[in-house]
Amino acid sequence: MVNIEELVADCVLQNPVEIEIGGKKHLVAKPTLGTLIEASAHMSAMSELGTIDVQNATSEQVIAYCMVNAKNCENIALVLATLILGRKGKKNAAEGKCNRFLGVFKRKERDEYAEVAERILSTMSCEEILELYAKLLGLQNLAFFLQLTTSLTEVNLLKKTKR
């Protein structure tokens, strides 16, 4: 059981949390503003999904909704990968193998975000994805982020403009 002192220490020291996806461990720190912006870009692609009233829908309607919209949910894995890896180092180059063409070495680039997203999609159940999503969002201190954006918006609205 985690006590309040440990939570405060983790918050103040910004200790990273260790998570495991498909047998590979990642250290996840609190996200930066850039990470939140990148994750938001992936989330905005999901806005076209629409909603369903799960409380009043029949199981057939829920299944049909899930099957129709499942193709668009790849962005959930991209959001999680962004929150896990952060915005730094969008692509890591060098996979060890070099192709040689006319004496020129060409390194094959790999997209670490796509690799983590693929591992999330292929190894984690829906329940595990939801738990991971909740855990990563809990690291963010969203109340502070909302205060920051709200106060900046208010400052911008209250600022005098030229006539």
Q: Does the pLDDT of residue 63 top 60, yes or no?
A: yes
| Low-confidence winner among 4-13, 18-27, 111-120 (lowest mean pLDDT) | 4-13
Number of Cβ within a 10 Å radius of residue 113:
22
Q: Does the pLDDT of residue 78 top 60, yes or no?
A: yes
Average pLDDT, the chain: 75
E strand or H helix at 135, and its extent?
helix 126-139
Please give the average per-residue pLDDT across 55-63, as a whole number: 87
DSSP per residue over 19-36, as a string?
A: EEETTEEEEEPPPPHHHH
Exposure string of 70-82, with b = 16+ CB inside 10 Å and e = fewer, is eeeebbbbbbbbb
pLDDT-derived band at 95, boundaries 50, 70, 90: very low
Q: What is the pLDDT of residue 62?
A: 84
Q: What is the pLDDT of residue 86?
A: 85
Q: Does the pLDDT of residue 18 top 80, yes or no?
A: yes
E strand or H helix at 99, and its extent?
strand 98-101
Please give the average per-residue pLDDT across 50-61, as a whole number: 83
Q: How far is CA 123 from the centre of its chain?
A: 17
Q: What is the pLDDT of residue 120?
A: 93
Q: Does the pLDDT of residue 93 top 50, yes or no?
A: no
Q: What is the pLDDT of residue 73?
A: 79
Which pTM value belongs to this model?
0.67
Q: What is the pLDDT of residue 123?
A: 93
pLDDT-derived band at 35, boundaries 50, 70, 90: confident
Share of the chain above pLDDT 90, in %: 8
